[in-house]
Every structure is written in C-alpha cells, then in structure tokens.
C-alpha cells in the first residue's frame, strides 16, 4: 500500500529582478554551465531528530546534483552560518562562487509533525527569490526533502519538478534462463524499493494511472496472459475482463477512464480501448498487421503505436476522432515502444538498427529525431513529469552466456547526464515506468 501523507504547503512569492533572470537554467540546451548552489546546515527547533535534518539536506543536495544542472558547493567551503531571518552577507557567498544560497529550518510540532521552512537567495541579485513552509508527518520526512528540491528546481528552471515521484518496474532475480519477475516500486532515486507481486506469478508491463491510485499490468497468472489492475491503497488485484484472447501492453488514458491495450484474436494483434466504467471494449486498429504498444497523447485525442503494416516495425499515430492513421517514422531500422511526453512536445521510442538498440525522441510529426542513448539492448522509455527526463532499461550483453545484467537508467532530453538508479545487488530492473507527481 502507498502510505498516505499529510502535507500542507504555504507559499510566499517574491518578485524577480533581472539578476535572477540570468540564473534561470535553459535545460533544453546541450552543455549548460551548472548553477552553483550552497545549501546551509539546517536549523532545528524543538525535538527534531538530528539524523532527519541531515538526511533532508543530503537528499536535497543529491536531487539537485542528479539533474546535471546544478553544482552543489562543498560544505567545507561554506562561510559563516546565517540564521533564518538574518540577511546573508552576499559578498562572502559570492567569494566561494555560490550563485544561489538555501537556508532552512525544521521545527518539531505537536502530533508527530515537522515544519520545514526554507529560503532561496539569488546571491548576485542580493534578493530572496523563494520562500516556502511545509508541514508533514515525521514518517514522511524524506518526501519533505523531495518536495523542497522540486520547489528549488522549479524556481530555477521554470519546469515541473520530478523528485517527489516513484518508479514502478519489473524486478528480475535468479539465473538468466530461469528468472523470477516481480512487480516492484521505488522512489525515483531508488530509495524504499518494495515488491508489489509475489514470486509465483510472471508479470510484465506495469503502468500508473494518472491519479497514482492504480497500476495496470500484464499477468501470466494460471498461465493465462491477461491485463490486471492493482489498487495501491488496498493491494487488491483484479482482472480487467474476459476478452477471448491474449491481451497485453496496457496504458491508461490521460483522464484515467480508459485503458488502451493489445489483444490477439485469430493470430492477429490489434489495439483496443477498454472503458473502465461501462466495461465496453472497442477495436481501434484493423487489417492483418501486428499493432501494439499504444501510448495516448496528453489530450487523449491520439494514440501512438507501433505496427509492421509497412513491412517492418514503425511508429504510427491514430486520430481517435477521425480514425485516420499516419505513419511517423521512415528512418533506417525498426521503431517500437512509443511514449508521448506529458507536455505533448515529444514522442520517445526504441530504435533497432545495425545490431544496436537506441533510445530516442522526435516531435509528434516524426521529425527532428534525436538519439539519447545506445547499447546492446535497451527499451521501454518512460517520461518524468515535466517532460525533460526519461527512464529506460539497458541490458548488458551476456558474458559466455552465464550472466546478463539489466540496469534502470535515466537520461535528459539533451542526451546528457545519464545515470543508473541504484537497485539491490541481486536485482535486475526492466520495464520501468515513471509516475506522475505524488498526490
């Protein structure tokens, strides 16, 4: 079950001067000089666990550093501590080349809660550019850190933050020819991984609902490949329906009322749309070709999918209002697993060419293709909120057929700043899906 957290946020906004405009990061650009951020030691008031205060600071540092857009100033280089409510001596902070200063204070409140206050200062402009107060249960202290990091990221980039999110994936264990596949969930930084399914049932292709209430996935329970749903509050699993054939590759619509999936009937695979309320199933693609991997556009009016109707695997877009299908990809190689970005500006994909797999993006017309990563085997791109970062998995080539290791990796849309998300040593991660921001 996903824990329910009480979080109250109070915002205090300040006007932005010309100096702050110079700080704003253009995260679409390729090589961008990182903004240097100094995060002070947190003040504590009342019965605050010192480890909690240190952990929040560490997580904020790690979140911001992981983007590649920010340089965290060494703690050893920080000048004299400045208490909240006191104006910093900006000359001292400029001397260590800090462009941004972050102050924070944690106060222990009644009922087992923390109040986290923080200020963000533009050192060059000598002005405060952000101030927030967050209240949450002590049990959700790590979320406080992610929310604080999101606020700083959003103020300095103008983009939606993605630190207070989770990733659902398939955790593989065991020898390469006899792997156990379990559904698992973790924070976007790999923290708090836990299993959502048992070892008995082979599962694949998990995806979140827009409200984070449900995960839809493919289950081979009783050797019958069918689409199921998992309620994250109750842990209850339900089969989606009896469709008279193998069904797979499920995705929620943006409003959460429908699920697109692939269904095999008489040896032909087509995309269907299932209405959750009416339980009606509607066929969307036709003909004798294989059609799969549906992904809704953010407005829910179109579906990107891959099909071999042209002779080899390419990506197409179906207009749900007119029924018109348009081919997007014409490049060398095969294209698969399209994933529409939350802002609608990109479609991510997997490409296979010259014995190499690639993760790439293109615009919704199939133009301006950009390769972000390549390797022996990689697949399943999924977008972070804000549409500036993707997660995918990469499998290393087996050595003498003995071992095959799969990593969950993240990359930004410039193709820069690729990193692995840490998993336990005995777990291989595949088929990751990034959640919306947590409720």
**What does the alpha-carbon distance between residue 289 and residue 406 come to, in Å, rounded to a whole number?**
31
Contact (CB, 8 A) for 119 and 102: yes
* Angle 63-64-67 from CA coordinates, rounded to 5°: 95
Instruction: Pick 7-157's CATH classification: 3.40.50.150, 3.40.50.10070, 1.10.3720.10, 3.90.105.10.
Output: 3.40.50.10070
Strand order in the sheet with 325-327: 291-296, 302-307, 314-319, 325-327
Strands 100-109 and 35-39: parallel
Q: Which CATH superfamily is domain 166-434 in?
A: TolB, C-terminal domain (2.120.10.30)
Do residues 353 and 332 touch, judged by C-beta distance below 8 A? yes
Query: What's the token pair of residue 378?
Result: 């990689």
Q: Is 96 exposed, middle or buried (0-12, 13-18, 19+ CB in 10 A)?
A: middle
d(CA 102, CA 79): 13
Spatial distance between the Cα atoms of 56 and 20, rounded to a whole number of angstroms: 25
Show me where the domains of the chain are located.
7-157, 166-434
pLDDT in tens, the chain (439 residues): 334 444 444 433 333 333 344 555 555 555 568 999 999 999 999 999 999 999 999 999 999 999 999 999 999 999 989 999 899 999 999 999 999 999 999 999 999 999 999 999 999 999 999 999 999 999 999 999 999 999 999 999 999 999 999 999 999 998 777 889 999 999 999 999 999 999 989 999 999 999 999 999 999 988 888 999 999 999 999 999 878 788 899 999 999 999 999 999 988 999 999 999 999 999 999 999 999 999 999 999 999 999 999 999 999 999 999 999 999 999 889 999 999 999 999 999 999 999 999 999 999 999 999 999 999 999 999 999 999 999 999 998 876 666 678 999 999 999 989 999 999 988 999 999 999 999 8
Tokens of 101: 């200063």
End-to-end CA distance of the chain: 14
């Amino acid at each position: 079950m996903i824990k329910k957290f009480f979080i109250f946020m109070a915002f205090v906004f300040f006007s932005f001067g010309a100096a702050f405009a110079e700080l704003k990061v253009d995260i679409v650009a390729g090589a961008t000089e990182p903004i240097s951020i100094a995060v002070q030691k947190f003040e504590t008031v009342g019965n605050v666990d010192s480890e909690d205060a240190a952990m929040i600071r560490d997580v904020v540092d790690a979140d911001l550093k992981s983007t590649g857009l920010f340089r965290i100033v060494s703690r050893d280089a920080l000048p004299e501590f400045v208490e909240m409510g006191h104006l910093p001596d900006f000359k001292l902070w400029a001397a260590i080349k800090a462009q941004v200063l972050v102050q924070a204070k944690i106060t222990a409140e009644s009922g087992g809660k923390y109040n986290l206050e923080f200020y963000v200062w533009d050192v060059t402009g000598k002005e405060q550019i952000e101030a927030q107060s967050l209240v949450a249960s002590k049990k959700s202290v790590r979320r406080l850190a992610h929310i604080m990091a999101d606020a700083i990221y959003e103020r300095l980039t103008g983009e939606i933050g993605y630190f207070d999110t989770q990733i659902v994936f398939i955790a593989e264990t065991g020898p390469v020819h006899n792997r156990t596949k379990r559904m698992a969930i973790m924070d976007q930084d790999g923290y708090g991984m836990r299993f959502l399914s048992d070892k008995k049932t082979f599962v694949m292709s998990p995806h979140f609902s827009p409200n984070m209430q449900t995960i839809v996935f493919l289950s081979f329970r009783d050797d019958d490949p069918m689409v199921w749903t998992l309620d994250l509050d109750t842990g209850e699993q339900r089969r989606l329906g009896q469709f008279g054939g193998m069904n797979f590759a499920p995705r929620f619509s943006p409003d959460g009322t429908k699920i697109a999936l692939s269904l095999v009937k008489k040896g032909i695979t087509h995309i269907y749309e299932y209405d959750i309320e009416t339980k009606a199933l509607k066929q969307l693609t036709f003909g004798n070709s294989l059609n799969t991997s549906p992904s809704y556009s953010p407005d829910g009016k179109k579906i990107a999918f891959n099909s071999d109707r042209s002779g080899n695997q390419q990506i197409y877009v179906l207009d749900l209002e007119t029924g018109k299908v348009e081919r997007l990809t014409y490049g060398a190689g095969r294209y698969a697993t399209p994933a529409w970005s939350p802002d609608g500006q990109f479609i991510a994909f997997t490409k296979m060419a010259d014995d190499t797999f690639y993760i790439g993006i293109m615009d919704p017309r199939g133009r301006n293709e950009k390769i972000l990563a390549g390797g022996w085997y990689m697949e399943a791109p999924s977008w972070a909120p804000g549409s500036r970062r993707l997660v995918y998995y990469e499998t290393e080539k087996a050595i003498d057929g003995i071992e095959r290791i799969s990593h969950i990796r993240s990359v930004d849309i410039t193709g820069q700043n690729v990193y692995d998300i840490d998993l336990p040593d005995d777990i291989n991660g595949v088929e990751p899906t990034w959640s919306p921001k947590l409720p």
